[in-house]
Amino acid sequence: MDVIKLPETGGRTRTQKRVRPPKPGNQEQKRRRNAESLAVLGEKDSSVKLLEELVFGAEDELVEKLVEEDEDQAGVLSLEDQDQEPVDSDGEGEAPLQLRPSRTAAWVDEDDELEEEVDMKHRYRRDLVRGEAESTMSKQKLQQRMRDQFQRSMGGTPSWAENKKTKDKDDDDDDEEEEDDLLRRTGNFVASSDCLPSGVLRMKKCLHANSARPSEDRLTTVQFHPSAQVVMTAGLDQSVSLFQVDGKTNPKIQSIHLERFPVHKAQFSLDGEMVIATSLKNKMFYLYDMMEGRITPVHTVRGLNEARVKDFSVCPEGGALLLNGTNGYLHLLTLKTQEVVRSMKINGNVTGVAFSNDGSKVFTNSEEGEVYVWDMRSSRCVNRFTDDGCVKGTSIAASRNGQYLACGSQSGVVNVYSQEACLNSANPKPLKAVMNLLTSATSLTFNPSSEILAIASRAEDEAVRLVHLPSLTVFSNFPIAKRKVVYRASCLDFSPHSGFFSLANNKGHAPLFRLLHYRDF
């Protein structure tokens, strides 16, 4: 019988199989057969032929063909451009441009196109709200609002976020931007073009304005220089100090000591070259010429029959002071001749004086709660009215745009009037009665752009509020809750472009705040 022998498997594994080496002619035969097969297919499909040549060699020929195909495709695109090129008024078209295929989005979410309303009352979105009506906002509008806020904080759109078209347009408008920037930085009291939003005031706590030399006693005055980036402080420690304001170190410029003269009030002259300082129980006052570094004491004033010179105001026209006398008297004093040229009198004692923007009118508040309006040129009382609900007046302030007049009372109520109504009506009604203070409203100040009214009482700690105009609502984030920063404030002031806000407190410090809405000092 024929027996078929099976291969032996005992003790051998697959890895131990011996692989036969290919015959020398097999590779060449295989290549020839594949080339013949692909040559037939290549007549129908050129891409298969290119693949065959790439696999089996001929790389140089493939590169040349790819270059030729790119040139042919570019030629087709150029022809399409010629059909679509614009024609100018003379009938001559511009040179053809090569078009690049536009890229489409890899994924489009249909939900993004839906108009979804976002709740703006969340604490992370309160800074983006510009009015009480914006309780909700669409996604698209919220994105635009966040983009605008980012650009303002960055000082404009960053270069990496601009496309080529925007960059070219910006290059063309360089001259116009330089002119706008010049006008913004050199104009008088120019703030940001956008209106100040109500609700939350964007601000940052800075180092104290007088941190380089804190006062050893209560501060009575803080005032920013009308044109330079300088702030002045004065107090009961018998000194007047000047500091440079940068928000970081606030270095001291100069400090003068007035022997046995606790300063009750100090103010810059209209041109900012002189400081006038008065004391509590002294008829004498000092004139400090900052340009020459000369301190001049004024012991007597011709025509002034007063036991002391305490409160005063610098006239907007310059070169004159309006002194608050006793028994309701107001004295107009010229600095050049140091004499009283005229006097005015009201019923009761004077508690506050505020000039109109042009200096032609002066508003005077009395202890009896009456407000007098005087014409400075004729020294004649042109109007008189009673502050609504006031028993005893304590302070008064007028906005620089000529729109508002604020009157403070001992009860803490601050009435905000229209200046026009105060000039023409015998019984004007307040636009708003601000009742956020529980003690006497002793200090009132408008910011230069007339968008903020600062009110304070020196009788209680943290008794300071900032009122938004024209909504006449109080900003909710000042002062800082659960943290004492302000203490008892006796004087308030804004920088010339509202970029900074400072106050004088009983601790001898001048807390400084950066108002982020305003770009300039």
Residues 236-260 have pLDDT tens digits of: 999 999 999 998 999 999 999 999 9
Q: Is there a domain that residue 521 lies in?
A: no
Q: Is there a domain that residue 365 lies in?
A: yes
Q: Dump pLDDT digits (tens) for 455-471.
A: 999 999 999 999 999 89
**pLDDT higher for 138 or 353?**
353
Angle formed at CA 275 by CA 272 and CA 278, multiple of 5 degrees: 150
For residue 175, give Cα distances in angstroms to 141, 160, 179, 184.
31, 22, 6, 14
Q: Is there a domain that residue 435 lies in?
A: yes
Q: Is there a domain that residue 482 lies in?
A: yes
Say if CB 512 and CB 210 are below 8 A apart.
no
> Rounded to whole angstroms, how far apart are CA atoms 35 and 32?
5
Q: Domain of 261: which CATH number?
A: 2.130.10.10
pLDDT, position 51: 58
Q: How confident is the model at residue 269 (pLDDT cuts 50, 70, 90)?
A: very high
Q: Is there a domain that residue 4 lies in?
A: no
* Overall domain count for the chain: 1
Given a cut of 90, whether residue 22 has pLDDT beyond it is: no
Token readout for 165 is 């078209």
Helix (H) or strand (E) run with residue 79 in it = helix 59-84
Q: β-strand 443-446 against 432-434: which pairing, if any?
A: unpaired
Given a cut of 90, whether residue 353 has pLDDT beyond it is: yes
Q: How confident is the model at residue 96 (pLDDT cuts 50, 70, 90)?
A: very low
Given a cut of 70, whether residue 502 has pLDDT beyond it is: yes
Calculate mean pLDDT across residues 416-430.
Answer: 96
Q: Is there a domain that residue 193 lies in?
A: no
| Residue range of the domain that includes 338 | 203-515
Q: Is there a domain that residue 178 lies in?
A: no
**Burial of 449 by CB count in 10 Å (0-12 exposed, 13-18 middle, 19+ buried)?**
buried
Percent of the chain with pLDDT over 90: 58
Calculate mean pLDDT across residues 288-292.
Answer: 91
CA 272 and chain centroid, separation = 25
Helix (H) or strand (E) run with residue 64 in it = helix 59-84
pLDDT, position 8: 55
What does pLDDT average to over the chain? 81
Q: How confident is the model at residue 281 (pLDDT cuts 50, 70, 90)?
A: confident
Calculate mean pLDDT across residues 411-426.
Answer: 96
Q: Where are the beta strands (DSSP E) in 196-338?
A: 203-206, 219-224, 230-235, 239-244, 252-257, 263-268, 274-279, 285-289, 294-298, 312-314, 320-324, 329-334
Q: Is there a domain that residue 109 lies in?
A: no
